[in-house]
Amino acid sequence: MYRNRNSNGAAQISVWTLADYPPYSTEWTLECEATFAEICNDASYKATGLPRKIPVLALIHPTNPDVVYFFQDDHLIGVDVRVRKVVGHEVYELVEPPREDVASRFVHAWQLPPSLCSGNSLYISTP
């Protein structure tokens, strides 16, 4: 997963996966990509009320590689890159905020077992 620019110069997100078969595979596959303009133009993004700016990459969903999470100001935004729609957003609050901008190095993606889940949060369940 990386952020780049398409042939027209528009900033976009591209999601690639590395197959774990056959053993020792070195072949990457482009799964999906979308420009940030396409995401921001969708009604689901407009409904968040967030500004049109390129967010900071947070993480990729641990079981659904189409869903990528971004930080924007004090929001965590879930985007289904394949369909270019926001699938969730919430205000987040860090216990000890870093002195610099929040980025992917401050979060870890994993799926908790049901016995450890305490609530029905969008970010715990699989979208």
Summarize pLDDT for 68-87 with one digit per residue, the tens. Answer: 999 888 888 999 999 999 99
Alpha helices by DSSP H, listed for 13-123, are 36-41, 43-46
What are 27-65's pLDDT values in tens digits? 888 889 999 999 999 999 999 999 998 888 888 888 888
Structural domain range at position 97: 2-116
- Residue 92 within a domain: yes
What are 15-27's pLDDT values in tens digits? 888 877 767 778 8
Q: What φ, ψ does residue 78 adopt, rounded to 5°?
A: -100, 125
List, in order, residues 6 or more apart from 124 with CB less than 8 Å away: 111, 112, 117
Q: In the beta sheet, which residues pair with residue 67?
A: 80
- Residue 127 within a domain: no
Instruction: Indicate the number of domains in the chain.
Output: 1
CB 32 within 8 A of CB 64: no
- Residue 99 within a domain: yes
- Residue 48 within a domain: yes
pTM of the model: 0.74
- Residue 46 within a domain: yes
